Amino acid sequence: MQIRASASELARIVAAAAPTLDVRAAHETALNISARLEQDQEGFVEVGDVARITAECRVDGTLTDPAGIKLVVKPPTEPRFELEYPADVTKIADGRFEATFPCTEVGRWRYQWVATGAAAGAESGVFNVDHEAL
């Protein structure tokens, strides 16, 4: 028996018959990196403050140490810099890390935690630095 079908019809048949895998959903279930910026009591970060950004790495809900972890920071106008474990990033507990750095200029700062190994993943964030309060 022969089946004749156009290329588009064949592609539709193959796509319908092939099992699908939602890689994004599987990845989110397995890994969770969260990041948090500590601010002063008024909720501000000012020039001269030391930013403290924390990260938690989880695999299937359990705090897990990654093979490597770093924080990439991009100030508003200065070049980006990287803080890596163990030289510049502190391990607080299993799967929990923090990094600190001075806020040297006013504007929007961007950061991204990047973890490798079994707990691989990334989490980005932004924060604003204001002028020093009078």
Count other C-beta atoms under 10 Å from residue 19's C-beta: 4
Whether 80 is covered by a domain: the verdict is yes
Q: Is residue 115 part of a domain?
A: yes
* Domain annotation covers residue 68: yes
Distances (CA, A) of 89 to 65, 104, 129: 13, 19, 21
| Edge-to-edge strand list for the sheet holding 81-84 | 45-46, 121-130, 107-116, 68-74, 81-84
pLDDT of residue 134: 57
SS3 (DSSP) at 100 = strand
Domain that holds residue 126: 30-130
- The answer to whether residue 123 sits within a structural domain is yes
More confident residue, 131 or 66: 66
* Residues 8-60: tens digit of each pLDDT: 443 444 344 433 333 333 334 334 566 667 666 566 788 988 898 989 998 88
Please work out, in degrees rounded to the nearest 5, the angle formed at the alpha carbon of residue 44 by the alpha carbons of 38 and 48.
Answer: 85
Q: Is residue 5 part of a domain?
A: no
Does the residue 78 lie in any domain? yes
Least confident segment among 31-35, 42-46, 84-88, 123-127? 31-35
Number of domains in the chain: 1
pTM above 0.75, yes or no: no
CATH classification at residue 99 = 2.60.40.1930
Q: For the ranges 28-32, 42-46, 72-76, 115-119, which has the lowest average pLDDT?
A: 28-32
3-class secondary structure, 27: helix
